[in-house]
Structure 1
Amino acid sequence: MGSIGNEEKVSPPNDQFWKSIQNHKAAESILGEAQKHAEGHKLRAHDMKDASAFDRNLEEVLDQRRSSQNLAALHRWDHAVDFSSNDFLSLATNGILREEFLKELSRNPEFKLGSTGSRLLDGNSPYSEALEQEIAEFHGGESALLVASGYDANCAIFCAIPRPGDVIVYDELIHASVQDGMKYSLTESQISFRHNDPTSFRDVLDDIEESHPLVRKGQRCVLVSVESVYSMDGDVCPLQALVEIAKEVFPKGNVEFVVDEAHSTGLMGVNGRGLVCDLGLEKEIAIRLHTFGKGMSTTGAAILSNKTVQNMLLNFARPLIYTTAPSFPMLAAIKAGYTLLRTGQLTPLRENMQRLVKHFYDKMTADPEWAAITKAGTCSIPLLNNWEGRDYITQFVPVWTREKYNYFLSIHLLNDNFSAIPINPPVVPRGTGRVRLIIHAGNTDEQVEELANSILTWAKEMYAIETGKTKGRLPAVAQKLQLLMSASGHDISPRAGNPFME
């Protein structure tokens, strides 16, 4: 898409223009994001002839991202309504977790601030062992091992557990931490199956049964890596079906599952125990990963397994061996979160989050123009399809758009004071750009309704542009952004390559 009008004749913003923006803070946020993007995506390597080879070589790599308009940067949403963070239950802001955390600190007044070493040296403690036991019992596992993050946990699992001759089978949309862990795995056979597709999963297992005689004989294993909930798509893993297929294809029982419950911990099942517990599959899953930086609003993670797997991790998982153990405040925050889960204090928050997501879906599907917009391909919310028939509705609302439309949608939402980030490759597959929204327990009915109305307003505007009912090729907020950028001295022509205005 090209910019509209003649860039040379763009007038500076006036009072009427500023009034057309929802508020000055929104305008500042929009302009700030666009300026940050414009400045950050200027190619730099060719202007660094006098710089060191070290810096110049790095800038050449960064220029590749800049050329594709895909350079990552830090954001701040100080004044916007939160529809983007991982604070699913709003525990980071509602004070419930903070209060329990402070109580936990007061119950341990003589605590040692730092852990003083790795778990295998001086970093172990009775408190950490007791917490691991509590976590294991809560999730119906044999043992739990605390780690610094979910990323470290997945890297630890996949670098230490698969043996030579084993096969790793993974969902094609598995998290980057699993992919990084597999790079250091001792097994060379790593095969993906189509996302959440039991038929594709069966086909992959059938191929392995034919091509790997040691696996067929039950002497080597298949490790299956899946997530309970996929955050960029918002869908739930068909875990029960996958487990049943694995038993059918390999009746010797040498298919083991690794389930990442990062986006279901604290949310799914009784008291937030997760998908595996909700399905009653505790005895069927070899390894579970529960992370605490999302629904639990703290930090860290725990790997649930039997003692054999735990001993393998302690002896061969470099991300665990060569790192300092979690500090007491980190452990106390995790403990506080599990106290809230175990006592059922978070149940009303989980229920409210579910209610709000359903309320949002009701508002979207009730609009008479939404079906035509979706059919035309302007944008869509795949999770709206048959949503009323699902047992569980996730907190994620990915709005898929045409290429680069997600930039337009993000600034439109920001103009309406909602935090929204355009998601592009490599985070999602090429050609599947979107704006991923997250509805939280702490959002209000009014905020959710306003969010739905904002999306619908933008979608109708883009649909009118596409069908020729509206002149021009840019939505209103993008046109306003052109004025702001031009008045700030930025190049707004197509050659500048700013996706917020193309």
Structure 2
Amino acid sequence: MYAGQDLSQIQKWVASQKLKAPTMKNAPLFYRNLEAALDERRAGHNLVTLHRFEHKVDFSSNDFLSLATSGLLREAFLEELDRNPDFEVGSTGSRISDGNNAYLEDLERQIADFHGAEGSLIVGSGYDANCAIFSAVPRPGDVIVYDELIHASVHDGMKASLATNQIPFKHNSADSLRETLIALKEAQPLIRQGTRCVLIGVEAVYSMDGDVTPLAEIVEVVRDIFPNGNAQIIIDEAHSTGLVGENGRGLVSALGLEKEIAIRLHTYGKGLGTTGAAILANSTVLNTLINFARPVIYTTAPSFPMLAAIRAAYNLMETGQTQKLQARVQHLVRHFCETIEADTDWQDAVDTGICSIPVSEDIEARPFVTQFLPVWTRQGQNYFLTMHLHGDGFTAIPIDPPVVPRGTGRVRLVIHAGNTEKEVEGLAASICRWAREMLDIQQSKTPGNEIPSAMRKVYGLAQAANVQKMDLSQLAANPFDSSKIAKVQKRQIDESPWPDPIGLDAWRWTGPHGTIRTPSLIHASSPNTKVSAENDPQNGIFGFCQRNANRGGRRIPHRNPRRV
């Protein structure tokens, strides 16, 4: 299940977790202070390290159309370079000084025409774009209203904003948006009088849930409450670019709402397999960004290779060459759902509350599906599933708070155009084997048998690498002895950093069955307790859904640095 390369990475990880500050007494204070800060993470075995996924089937990356890893985009990119043999590699300056050029302006025109927008502005990344939009566009006295699961970059932009207030509404709830806007209109005289504006921020597709914003309903709500136009919508199409609409134009174009949306953001580091982003808006908004947005003003303009790669991707979309890749993703997502739903072990696991894929419900009735298939698990068991999948040769990423609301841990799976039916079927089969094992563990009720086989193998690798460990049997013998757990449980789970995608840097499980280090703290949640709204209304998966229906789970705005 685990090859020598996995052991090698664990050994590399072990070396990275050794405290360094005590060995640097003669080093300059500057470096000692930095290492002391890093040692706080090393002490908890959760220092993040860089690593590579190798020899595994990709079900985690953002290369949705497989353009980055196939030869299609590379060939188009090289053709674009051949058409411009005398190109200058660097732009030589910022957009407002020497960095502007005809090629860049022509590409921005091409992008705007493709998406049916008045104009566009290319920036370095989607992060830069959201920071630029939400920091520069709101004027003093304006208010930002945003979906509670919006990207972290929006929060960073809002922190630098001149907006008077920043108000979340329940995720994907047009009714919650209506209530929020009505209350805002009643409470803010300048908004009510139409002398100040409301900016509504949403995403087209939310990658952690795999759902789509009800954009048509949101547009209708905004029109109804603010008929004079002092409320405008900003949409982030990071996860829909290339995937949704004719030739991948995005959700706004698919719904024919181009004239209803003030600002659109299309990013290129995901579905299009390259880098950069473009902000689509009219000349008033674009001039505002050029004059007031620090991420636009104080940075070098995009280089020619970056622009050529973006143009190559648009050439592929315009000529219909990505349409079959879109269709391929649709087919594979549906095929995965049909395959896993037909497995009795999966159905039993869903019925007993071990796991579920909420976004797959009623999938047959949807005109299109997203590429995201988050598998929700009991608290902490998303790590069990992740390591099981890694052992079977599939990449997957466990997601925990603060990236998602507390009690809603999951494994984020991403289907790519380059995946095969056999790979998708293998993924479904692997998940079902894990579900069967978790069912067996639940039914056995044997103390000390709470950890599935994949995690035990990882624990063995950690022992071989001489990682600090704890004897599971000591905790399993008396699973409800919280005093033993308290000795090793150093933080609440919602204070943990983003878990390392390969499963080495922040493994943590909390629950009555105790704690081991594999190689970090792992808290094994009880496999014999069904998660439901009835018996776990605060922390369970279904409990979160119940809360969301009533008042909405709340993302912690500024503790979400690694959301993708």
**Same fold, judged at TM 0.5 (above):** yes
Match of 1:488 among 445, 452, 465: 465
C-alpha distance in structure 1 between counterparts of 2:238 and 2:435, whole Å: 32
C-alpha distance in structure 2 between counterparts of 1:345 and 1:274, whole Å: 16
Match of 1:324 among 300, 305, 312: 300
- CA, structure 1 residues 402+31, in 2 after alignment: closer, same or farther (shift >3 Å)? farther
Deviation at 1:103, TM superposition (A): 0.7
Deviation at 1:415, TM superposition (A): 0.9
C-alpha distance in structure 1 between counterparts of 2:185 and 2:338, whole Å: 46
- CA, structure 1 residues 234+63, in 2 after alignment: closer, same or farther (shift >3 Å)? farther
1:241 and 2:217 equivalent?
A: yes
| Cα deviations by residue, 1:178-222 (Å, 9 ceiling, x for unpaired) | 100000000130000111111211111111011111111111111
Deviation at 1:64, TM superposition (A): 5.4
C-alpha distance in structure 2 between counterparts of 1:357 and 1:30, whole Å: 29
1:190 matched to which residue of 2?
A: 166
Contact 1:159–1:184 (CA under 8 A) maintained in structure 2: yes
Deviation at 1:44, TM superposition (A): 5.9
Name whichever of 240-249 and 283-292 sits farther off: 240-249
| Cα deviations by residue, 1:378-435 (Å, 9 ceiling, x for unpaired) | 2221112222222221111111222221222111111111111222233222332221
2:453 matched to which residue of 1?
A: 476
Deviation at 1:69, TM superposition (A): 6.2
The 5 Å alignment of 1:315-464 reads: 315-464=291-440
Query: What number of residue pairs does the alignment pair up?
Result: 478
Contact 1:262–1:289 (CA under 8 A) maintained in structure 2: yes
Secondary structure of the equivalent of 1:92? Answer: coil
Name whichever of 416-425 and 69-78 sits farther off: 69-78
1:139 matched to which residue of 2?
A: 115
Deviation at 1:53, TM superposition (A): 4.6
Query: What residue identity is the alignment partner of 2:461?
Result: L
Deviation at 1:36, TM superposition (A): 5.3
1:8 matched to which residue of 2?
A: none
2:55 matched to which residue of 1?
A: 79
- CA, structure 1 residues 461+172, in 2 after alignment: closer, same or farther (shift >3 Å)? same
| Cα deviations by residue, 1:234-256 (Å, 9 ceiling, x for unpaired) | 11111111111111122222110
C-alpha distance in structure 1 between counterparts of 2:153 and 2:136, whole Å: 14
Contact 1:481–1:501 (CA under 8 A) maintained in structure 2: no
Name whichever of 372-381 and 448-457 sits farther off: 372-381
C-alpha distance in structure 2 between counterparts of 1:454 and 1:31, whole Å: 22
C-alpha distance in structure 1 between counterparts of 2:57 and 2:522, whole Å: 21
TM-score, normalised to structure 1, is: 0.90
Contact 2:210–2:370 (CA under 8 A) maintained in structure 1: yes
C-alpha distance in structure 2 between counterparts of 1:89 and 1:340, whole Å: 12
Query: What residue identity is the alignment partner of 1:110?
Result: D
Greater relative contact order (CA < 8 Å, ≥ 6 in sequence): 1
- CA, structure 1 residues 398+456, in 2 after alignment: closer, same or farther (shift >3 Å)? same
Contact 1:30–1:411 (CA under 8 A) maintained in structure 2: no
Identity %: 59
Name whichever of 341-350 and 398-407 sits farther off: 398-407
1:162 matched to which residue of 2?
A: 138
Query: What residue identity is the alignment partner of 2:428?
Result: A
1:291 and 2:267 equivalent?
A: yes
Deviation at 1:54, TM superposition (A): 3.7
1:10 matched to which residue of 2?
A: none
Query: What residue identity is the alignment partner of 2:453?
Result: A
Contact 1:290–1:302 (CA under 8 A) maintained in structure 2: yes
Unaligned runs of 5+ in 1: 1-20
C-alpha distance in structure 2 between counterparts of 1:445 and 1:142, whole Å: 41
1:114 matched to which residue of 2?
A: 90
Secondary structure of the equivalent of 1:91? Answer: coil
- CA, structure 1 residues 434+66, in 2 after alignment: closer, same or farther (shift >3 Å)? farther
